[in-house]
Amino acid sequence: MKIQIQTVFILVLAVSGLNAQDFSPSDTLVDIEGNYYKTVSIGTQTWMAENLRTSKYNDGSDIVYKSVKTLQKNTAYFYWYMADEEKYKYPYGGLYNWYAVNTGKLCPCGWHVPNEEEWTTLEAHLGGSKAAGTKMKEVGNEHWKKYNTGFLSHEEATNESGFSALPGGLCQRTFGFFGKSAFFWSSTDGADVLTYYHRLDFDSTYLLRNYFSKKFGLSIRCVKD
């Protein structure tokens, strides 16, 4: 059975034009709070294969938690979606604002929040913006809404990369997009109150980039130094 599974995996990669050595499971990572994370090597990079869910910085200090939808400039904090840790911590993780990212202490030691260059490297390795989303999203509808395909192409998510993106939504002035979209911060500073984020949607094959207010709460994926 194991040989059959490996054979099917290799055939899938061959059809997609990807090489088996480009995407491989890596070591398990643990943060300062004792949360464990799967990781995956994608090309020359090693990424978390799960969303960050710590309530502490890597120096052991607490991240300010907001149970209500408060948006404050120049204040680092995080949310659990709908203020419900028990329901959303696993597997969706926390929603952190960019000021928490900018502390440089959000990821476990030896890891960091990816900058724009690192996001671009990942995107290019997965065939560009138009194709990357399909290869990054978890397969099926256990967590993703409805069909989890491209709206026009109807190309189903494959998660060929092992990134295993989940639709954890975000916190603006309200919580939203849960089950529909995944939003991830970049560490690159864009402007005074806005900066870069990357997005995957249930009805799209794209990995999109745009700007959001630094006060919003988004998911975090860390990349190895």
Q: 6 lies in a domain?
A: no
Residue 73, exposed/middle/buried by CB under 10 A (0-12, 13-18, 19+)? exposed
Q: 10 lies in a domain?
A: no
Q: 172 lies in a domain?
A: yes
Q: 4 lies in a domain?
A: no
Give the model confidence (pLDDT) of 177-222 as tens digits: 999 999 999 999 988 899 999 999 998 999 999 999 999 999 999 9
Give the model confidence (pLDDT) of 72-87 as tens digits: 889 999 999 999 999 9
pTM of the model: 0.86
Q: 197 lies in a domain?
A: yes
Q: Which residue range is the domain that position 147 belongs to?
A: 19-224
The total domain count for the chain is 1
**Alpha-carbon torsion angle 82, 86, 92, 96, nearest 10:** 60
Quote the percentage of the chain above a pLDDT of 70. 84
Q: CB within 8 A of 6, min separation 6: which ones?
A: none
Residue 209 has, within 13 A of its CA and on its CB side, a CA count of 17
